[in-house]
Amino acid sequence: MKIELKKVKAPEIDAPVQTVLSDETMLQRRQKIANKMKDAGLDYLVVYGDLEHGSNFEYLTGFLTRFEESLLVLSEEGDHLIAGNENLNKAVISRLPVKPHHYSPFSLPMQPDVGNDLRDIFSAIGMKGKKIGVAGWKSLRQGFDLPHFIMEELCQLNGMLTNCTGFFIDAENGVRVTNNANEIVHYEYGASLASKAILETMDHVSLGMKEKQLAEHLNLEGQRNSVVTICAAGKRFEKANLYPSEKTLKLGDTLSLTVGYKGGLQSRAAYVANDENDLAEDVRDYLEVLAIPYFKAIVTWLEHIRIGMKGRELYNLIETVLPKETYHWHLNPGHLCADEEWLSSNIYDGSEQPFQSGMILQFDIIPSMKGYGGTSVEGGIVLADEKLRQEIALTYPDHYEKFEKRRKYMIETLGIQLSKEVLPMGNADAYYRPYLLSDKALAKTDD
């Protein structure tokens, strides 16, 4: 595989279109969980939520509880929302019909406490002595990841407790790891928004600009970010600061840019430079030593991923073209996306979990070589079999046209030969300029 840095036409910038999840989709989601509960013989399923760890909760209700913890209690007899002072009123907007229960200790510190008891709420719902599943946000080998004060009350019910987070996020059987056509175009909005932001930001990179000024192009349309927005020049995390600062961009600086929304993220790590001559002498071979080998791995990932392929197969391919021992990556080379940036992953050493139609995936490989700046061109795709592609094309023709346009760009301009099953979630996918003051990008030129 030959990779060259050359002048290529940049991707067009999308006008992202927001699509609401349909009532039918929300009913399907609840039914999927009902089937899981029935198969496991559960009487109740308790789903935890807070602003950072609420995506399983949001999957069913359509919203996150701000400021507070919250619980969904699901059963055949009816579903319940347990919420604090500022979220109890969200019961009426929930996409899932719920009976509200007020538990003021879920509220912010020193707010009015009405003195209610969580154990009493559980008992009133009918949970005492029952078989109860508990879903947090991690599939732990043992135990539960909910706050202790909640687990303590669940344990007092004298029932059988089972960690059921895998119902949602297991990379092979979790209900959230595959998406229907409506869900795909819903999440495409965030992925498209991230692409628009990263393309505009790269085009605004200039010497003397403050990180904060540049970062203004990353956060768009008032949407909630799925990760901390990164705009960091030179040395990162100085004095524990994670956010864009007053630091100015200088010639030869490294620059990290990351923005994410529901459904997708875009990240770039490159140099503020026109070419290698603007770099310090000891890193002028950055392109050959790090950027090009990394881009080969990204191309390999995109060209080989297929429905039915096992996670270990893709992992082994990346290990072959970008050996971990040399390039020092350590996280999974790719993962599933949804409302959160990292749902779970089937791409790991020894994984027998297959790729499935409807999976939204992030190509996410993070190499590190001492002395060199980082390199990154993270983006996302969705795998879609012929049936799903036809459904998108018939139901959402404008979105399908965007998918096809992105595929054409990646194949004809960047030289990346995608399977028909691979639909790029954003226009910026795989567009990588290692020198951000130049309009040249890396592309595959032959085999």
Alpha carbon distance 19, 17 (integer Å): 6
Q: Residues 47, 86: one domain? A: yes
Q: What is the DSSP letter of 394?
A: H
Residue 7 sits in the same domain as residue 142: no
CATH number at residue 225: 3.90.230.10
Q: What is the CATH number of the domain that holds 70?
A: 3.40.350.10
What distance in Å separates the CA atoms of residue 123 and residue 159, rounded to the nearest whole number? 11
In a domain, 319, yes or no: yes
Question: Do 11 and 97 fall into the same domain?
Answer: no
Condensed to tens digits (0 to 9), the pLDDT of residues 129-179 reads 999 999 999 988 889 999 999 999 999 998 899 999 999 999 999 999 999
339 pLDDT more than 70: yes
286 and 224 assigned to the same domain: yes
Instruction: Provide the residue count of the chain.
Output: 447
Quick one: average pLDDT of 400-425?
Answer: 98
Same domain as 77, residue 10 = no
Q: What percent of the chain has pLDDT over 90?
A: 95
Where does a domain end: 163, 189, 204? 163
Q: Is residue 35 part of a domain?
A: no
Residue 170 lies in a domain: no
- Predicted TM-score (pTM) of the model is 0.96
88 and 12 in a single domain? The answer is no
Q: CA 128 to CA 158: how far, in whole Å? A: 6
In a domain, 24, yes or no: no
What residues are paired with 266 via a beta bridge?
259
Q: Residue 257: name the closest of 245, 270, 248 by CA.
A: 270
Domain boundary among 111, 138, 163: 163
Asked if residue 105 and residue 184 are part of one domain, the reply reads no
Strands annotated E in 126-203: 131-135, 160-163
| pLDDT tens for each residue of 182-237 | 999 999 999 999 999 999 999 999 999 999 999 999 999 999 999 999 999 998 88
Question: Do 186 and 231 reside in the same domain of the chain?
Answer: yes
Distances (CA, A) of 338 to 65, 146, 177, 330, 345: 18, 21, 8, 22, 12
Cα of first residue to Cα of last residue in the chain, in angstroms, is 4
Q: Which pLDDT value is given to residue 238? A: 86
Indicate whether 322 belongs to any domain. yes
Tell me the pLDDT tens digit for each residue of 97-126: 999 999 999 999 999 998 789 999 999 999
Residue 229 · residue 215 · CB < 8 Å: yes
Looking at residue 140, its pLDDT comes to 87
Residue 38 domain-assigned (yes or no): no
> What is the distance between the alpha carbons of residues 430 and 413, in angstroms, rounded to a whole number?
11
**pLDDT tens digit string along 7-20?**
999 999 988 999 99
Please report the pLDDT score of residue 73 as a whole number.
98
Q: Please tell me whether residues 51 and 102 are part of one structural domain.
A: yes
Is 208 found in the same domain as 149?
Answer: no
pLDDT in tens, 275-322: 999 999 999 999 999 999 999 999 999 999 999 999 999 999 999 999
Sequence-distant (≥ 6) Cβ neighbours of residue 423 within 8 angstroms: 381, 382, 383, 384, 389, 392, 403, 406, 407
Count: domains in the chain:
2
Domain containing residue 114: 43-163
Residues 229 and 267 in one domain: yes
Domain end, chosen from 163, 196, 231, is at 163
Whether residue 359 has pLDDT greater than 90: yes
Determine, yes or no, domain membership for 151: yes
Do 373 and 260 have their domain in common?
yes
Q: Which residue has the tokens 């080989």?
A: 304
In a domain, 26, yes or no: no
Residue 130: what residue type?
Answer: K
